[in-house]
Amino acid sequence: MSEHRTTVAGVTVDTRHWIGGQRVASPRTFTDASPIDGAPIGEISRGTATEAGAAVAAAKVAFPGWAATSRAERARILHAIADGVEKRLEELANVETVDNGALLRSHRRGVMPRVAHNFRFFADWLLTLEHEDFATRGHTNHVTWDPAGPCVLITPWNAPLMLATWKVAPALAAGNTVVLKPAEWSPLTASLLADITAEAGLPAGVLNIVQGYGSEIGDALTSHPDVRRISFTGSVPTARHIAAAAAANLTPLSLELGGKSPLLVFADADLDLAVDLAVEQYDNAGQVCLAATRLLVEEAVAEEFTRRFVARASRLRQGDPREESTDIGPTIHPRQVAKIDGFVRRALAAGARAVIGGHPGEGQYYAPTLLTDVRQDSEIVQEEVFGPVLTLQTFSGEDEAVHLANDTRFGLAATLATGDPERAERVTARLVAGTVWVNCFFVRDLKAPFGGSRHSGIGREGGTWSFDFYCDLKNTVTAPKGWRHHG
């Protein structure tokens, strides 16, 4: 590592902020370490209110020019950014795997292609965004989506670049300028994104990136009077703090928060499919907000389901995420390992039984865990663990299944396995969730609305819903030619 740069997987990454089209260093740094082996991989500029304020100021200066840029030109630049992502896809995949520990094969085949798609999708959607004019007593109503202003986007560590660009792309497409604050546990691919956007011709100040701890720069970003939108993905306690900071300026918020999603398995389901869906919840070491961590299985098939689940889960290989044969990588940070283990230990002490797992492995690896004999009101059932820990409960009919599924403070997603289409329709209509999957999981189209109910969030993004959030909607009413108003 040299001053202001580090080399990860053969890729040189600048460790400074990106503000107003320039690299900006902070006097202090923080250490970024790889979850694979705990080794330091970079000394990252540690932002303060000074850098946060400078980034918002740069975004404010750049906003009029970018807002006035034609839709076609904005779309062209977003496609150029996507080209840059695809050109550096292998580098991005390797760096992010070292930085956050997710599987390299997933980054190569799914995550980084999705990063490019985020930019292409919103670039193309922008060019088709329109509302049909309508008449009121001969007057014409014309609806437009106007750029709102500088946006602060705060993103998590579990899918750093994909979730960042899920916000950055529509915000830029809408004509806004952006201040991105990536998670301090996985900041490196955001820095590479800055390089890619500059090479694509994005004007200086349109995208700014400030690194650091939320406790040190968060308030300066979220309470700033020049910020017109805030989008955050993360925990409920942090969201409360952000909402309080934004309240003084009435800054609109989009919050995608935690989940404690259920997987309902009915006796008429394809059990092999249901087991595959359940084991899939260990993806990314369980560090997925949408994960269906509560397995709710009809009593008649619970024993057989559990037997097949254990057999299937026992074949999972946990280890170095850079190896093709690995199914489960490490947990992001030692603090997260301790948090997960605390949940499991308290559950076991309260009477839960570990069918598999129930303990940490070496380093930052936590064994895939399935807990049974858990009470509905217990912490392990009610609170988000964000690790490879599932619980299994049984039910005797649709009413009990729906009650158990809805009986938490969350409502992000739900998954349903059944062979009866009519049952699927009845049950999904009663589930409280932003997304429901029937006999599938994690099928996501950017055209669809995404977000959570209850404590899982506020608002929806995706397709036109993203532009509804990142824009000020305006209705212009024009009188017919020659018409005079007599009030």
Q: Where in the chain is the domain with CATH 3.40.309.10?
A: 262-438
The predicted structure's pLDDT at residue 31: 97
The predicted structure's pLDDT at residue 34: 97
Question: Across residues 217-245, what is the average pLDDT?
Answer: 95
| Contact (Cβ atoms closer than 8 angstroms) between residue 306 and residue 295 | no
Residue 39, token pair as written in the block? 């080794």
Q: Domain 5-257+452-475 adopts which CATH fold?
A: Aldehyde Dehydrogenase; Chain A, domain 1 (3.40.605)
Question: Across residues 125-145, what is the average pLDDT?
Answer: 95
Exactly one of 289, 298, 384, 471 is catalytic; name it: 289
For residue 73, indicate whether it is catalytic.
no
If one looks up domain 262-438 in CATH, what number appears?
A: 3.40.309.10
Question: Across residues 177-182, what is the average pLDDT?
Answer: 98
Question: Across residues 297-308, what is the average pLDDT?
Answer: 98
Instruction: State how far the Cα of 41 lies from the Cα of 86, in Å rounded to an integer.
Output: 24
1, pLDDT greater than 60: no
pLDDT band at 484 (very low <50, low <70, confident <90, very high): confident
The predicted structure's pLDDT at residue 2: 64
Instruction: State how far the Cα of 21 lies from the Cα of 9, in Å rounded to an integer.
Output: 26
pLDDT band at 486 (very low <50, low <70, confident <90, very high): low
Question: Across residues 275-279, what is the average pLDDT?
Answer: 98
Q: Tens of pLDDT along 235-273?
A: 999 999 999 999 999 999 999 999 999 999 999 999 999
pLDDT band at 487 (very low <50, low <70, confident <90, very high): low
Q: Tens of pLDDT along 374-408?
A: 999 999 999 999 999 999 999 999 999 999 999 99
Question: Across residues 128-156, what is the average pLDDT?
Answer: 96
Exactly one of 256, 298, 384, 461 is catalytic; name it: 256
**Residue 151 CB partners (closer than 8 Å, separation 6+):** 59, 171, 176, 177, 178, 179, 227, 228, 229, 230, 231, 470
For residue 151, indicate whether it is catalytic.
no
**How many CB atoms sit inside 10 A of residue 308's CB?**
18
- Across all residues in the chain, what is the average pLDDT? 96
DSSP letters spanning 243-300: HHHHHTTT--EEEE-----EEEE-TTS-HHHHHHHHHGGGGGGG--TT---EEEEEHH
Question: Across residues 92-101, what is the average pLDDT?
Answer: 98
Q: Where in the chain is the domain with CATH 3.40.605.10?
A: 5-257+452-475
371, pLDDT greater than 80: yes
